């Protein structure tokens, strides 16, 4: 077993790209969010719901939103 974060990091670099991404996601998910982040997420969600309720925003079907994001990502250098 690795003795330090640096050693774990070096071992992780030996994983496939897919495995490294999975590991990163799992590590991020395991960390408790700070109360500041949670409060900001609540503020954003509340603001977005209010915008929907008042008609300032419109809902976009998930598949359409996903396709838009994927097109935007593919245009990035």
Q: Containing domain of residue 12, as a range?
A: 1-31
Indicate whether 22 and 52 sit together in one domain: no
pTM of the predicted protein model? 0.47
Question: Is 1 a residue whose pLDDT tops 80?
Answer: no
Confidence of residue 75 (pLDDT cuts 50, 70, 90): confident
E strand residue ranges, 1-77: none
Indicate whether 22 and 59 sit together in one domain: no
Indicate whether 45 and 63 sit together in one domain: yes
The DSSP element (H or E) to which 12 belongs, if any, is helix 5-13
Indicate whether 13 and 43 sit together in one domain: no
Indicate whether 3 and 23 sit together in one domain: yes
Confidence of residue 77 (pLDDT cuts 50, 70, 90): low
Confidence of residue 3 (pLDDT cuts 50, 70, 90): confident
Indicate whether 71 and 38 sit together in one domain: yes
Indicate whether 27 and 58 sit together in one domain: no
Indicate whether 18 and 51 sit together in one domain: no
**Total number of domains in the chain:** 2
Cβ neighbors of 22 (< 8 A, separation 6 or more) are: none
Say if CB 18 and CB 26 are below 8 A apart: no
Q: Tally the C-alpha atoms within 13 A of residue 67's C-alpha that lie toward its C-beta.
A: 5
């Amino acid at each position: 077993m690795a003795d330090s974060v640096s050693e774990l990091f070096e071992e992780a670099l030996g994983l496939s790209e897919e495995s490294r991404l999975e590991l990163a996601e799992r590590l991020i998910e395991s960390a408790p969010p700070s109360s500041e982040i949670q409060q900001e997420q609540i503020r954003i969600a509340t603001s977005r719901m209010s915008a929907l309720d008042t008609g300032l925003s419109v809902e976009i079907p998930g598949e359409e939103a996903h396709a838009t994001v994927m097109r935007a990502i593919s245009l990035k250098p």
